[in-house]
Chains A and B, each alone.
Chain A
Amino acid sequence: MAKTVDQYFDDLQHTRVWRSIFRSGTGSSTLKRALAVQQNVFLHLLSSKVRTRMLSFSATLYLGTLTLGTFLILVATGIPLMLYYHPSVPQAYADTKDLQFVVSSGMFLRNLHRWSAHAMVFLVFAHMFKVFYRGAYRTPREFNWVIGVILLLVTLLLSYTGYLLPWDQLAYWAITVGSNIASAVPVIGDKIHFLLLGGHTVNANALLRFYVLHCMILPLTAMFFVAIHFWRIRKDGGLYNHDSEPATVRSRNGSPA
């Protein structure tokens, strides 16, 4: 009798190699499924169960999930883009041109990266407003809201630093306009401006700084805070729903909106 695909998969899960990789064991019992989350270094950031009501589309519009989705797309497209790019003047512009006209699917990669970046900025804002209108910043979720604001700023900086990298007129002058605002900070404005650009105007040093920020420092910062952001959702009692809060917390936080 021929085996089905499911049976092959089942056999695979019982092999010694599979068992050595995944700690949670096999099976479809509630316990095993909970362990599949708890015993996994990435998934353990999440709760092992979620209220069914919070999974309806209207409850959250899945905006946080979608924001993570854009971030993953941006990492997946950003790394191949780095293979074709030199952060130097004027080579950066030539590389971008090559991506458009020479590299296989280079145009597609750059387009997808760009539109996903815009989508991520938009989704982060949308996520913030949705969380606000749900009142999901209430005790004990205050600090996770603060982390969210930090992530908003990191997202804006990621998008802003990436904006310079093509080194075309659009990039150059957008960054010039933006970075001039830094000079307006009282007393230390010019110092900040100089630190940001590595000079008094947008030049090759600025391009290198923005490249390092865009490809190393800011993505790592984002991942760091995203991990805390997700972990805190679990620690603070899961996705917020006013009616599901313990009675004591509810009375402290006022009546439902």
Chain B
Amino acid sequence: MADPKDFIAGVDSNAKKSPRRIVFITRRTSAQVKADTEEQLQTFPEVLFRAAVAVMTLAVVLVWSALLFNAPLEGLADPSHTPNPAKAPWYFLGLQEMLHYFPPVVAGVLVPGLVVMALIVIPYFKVNIEAEGLFLRDRGRRLRIFYLFASGLSLFLLIFRVYAALVPTLIMAALMLFAAQSSPQSPSKLQRYLAARPLSYWVMTWFLFELVVLTAIGTFFRGPGWSWVWPWQGA
């Protein structure tokens, strides 16, 4: 009879919002307690209405595009006549730009394979979960590692003359150095913002920057023989 109780009891007594609830928490289990109750809207009809408005707005934009701009249609496919340049769809032009610098097994298989792998594992690594500014703790050591990576990558891109990828890398490196010089106490808002960015932010933003730049170059700046042309030079 003298055994200590195997549970603790709690009462949620906000009778206006919910019926009285009594919870028993045994030692081996724990209840997930909500931080707070915040305002919610019913999915039916409020949220569905907003979703419908969003989709309809998009549909209006797309219908207008379809009325104003015609989809391209060239001559019948001719295996004996290769257009110059032969371009992939726009979302693969970043890859095609990479193929210009590296052998297919690197640019066509290794790089996209690594990108997909990297995307998949993002949520499973603690470094992507932590949201602390990259240079706020252990600054000296992290700066040394940063210098090593940034100069190594830049040198690699320089040796292979991948200037298209080198320029965004250098811009990102400069931004990161600026962030390293900043702190949460910095006077400017931009510096405070940059100082609070974690490593995952920098890596993803670098990737996004490269993706946009390489895709744009492949789309607008490449002509016959994959040579550099300005968009206003025409075909």
A interface, CB within 8 angstroms of B: 30, 33-34, 36-37, 43, 46-53, 55, 62, 65-66, 68-70, 72-73, 89-90, 93, 96-97, 100, 107-108, 110-116, 118-119, 121, 125, 128-129, 132-133, 135, 137-139, 141-142, 145-146, 149, 152-153, 156, 159-160, 163, 166-174, 176-178, 180-181, 183-186, 189, 201-202, 243-248, 250, 253-257
The docked-state distance in angstroms from the alpha carbon of A96 to that of B87 is 21
Are A73's CB and B62's CB within 8 A? Answer: yes
Instruction: Indicate the size class of the contact surface on chain B.
Output: 35 or more
Task: With CB as the reference atom, state the residue of chain B lying closest to A140.
Answer: B123
Q: Which parts of B31-59 form the interface with A (CB within 8 Å)?
A: 32-36, 38-48, 50-51, 54-55, 58-59
Quote the shortest CB–CB distance from A19 to chain B (angstroms): 17
Are A181's CB and B104's CB within 8 A? Answer: yes
Knowing A116-B62, A133-B201, A257-B196, say if A141 contacts B91 (CB, 8 Å): no
Out of B90, B123, B197, name the residue touching A138 (CB < 8 Å). Answer: B123
Are B50's CB and A255's CB within 8 A? Answer: no
Task: With CB as the reference atom, state the residue of chain A lying closest to B124.
Answer: A142
Are A112's CB and B132's CB within 8 A? Answer: no
Out of B33, B59, B70, name the residue touching A107 (CB < 8 Å). Answer: B70
Are B132's CB and A254's CB within 8 A? Answer: yes
Residues of chain B contacted by A51 (CB below 8 angstroms): 38-41
Residues of chain B contacted by A113 (CB below 8 angstroms): 71
The docked-state distance in angstroms from the alpha carbon of A169 to that of B74 is 6
Out of B86, B91, B105, B124, name the residue touching A173 (CB < 8 Å). Answer: B86
Knowing A65-B54, A184-B104, say if A37 contacts B44 (CB, 8 Å): yes
Are A66's CB and B71's CB within 8 A? Answer: no
Contact with A along B56-69 (1 / 0, CB 8 A): 00110011011101
Are A132's CB and B122's CB within 8 A? Answer: yes
Task: With CB as the reference atom, state the residue of chain B lying closest to A124.
Answer: B91
Are B34's CB and A174's CB within 8 A? Answer: no
Quote the shortest CB–CB distance from B29 to chain A (angstroms): 13
Out of A36, A46, A121, A129, name the residue touching B91 (CB < 8 Å). Answer: A121
Are A115's CB and B65's CB within 8 A? Answer: yes
Are A178's CB and B78's CB within 8 A? Answer: no
Cβ of B72 < 8 Å from any Cβ of A?
yes
17 contacts between A and B (CB under 8 A): A37-B44, A43-B44, A46-B43, A48-B43, A49-B41, A49-B43, A53-B38, A73-B62, A97-B73, A111-B65, A111-B67, A111-B69, A138-B129, A169-B75, A177-B87, A185-B105, A202-B77
Are A247's CB and B62's CB within 8 A? Answer: no
Cβ of B109 < 8 Å from any Cβ of A?
yes
Cβ of B83 < 8 Å from any Cβ of A?
yes
Residues of chain B contacted by A137 (CB below 8 angstroms): 122-123, 128
The docked-state distance in angstroms from the alpha carbon of A159 to that of B95 is 16
Are A171's CB and B32's CB within 8 A? Answer: no
Residues of chain B contacted by A250 (CB below 8 angstroms): 35
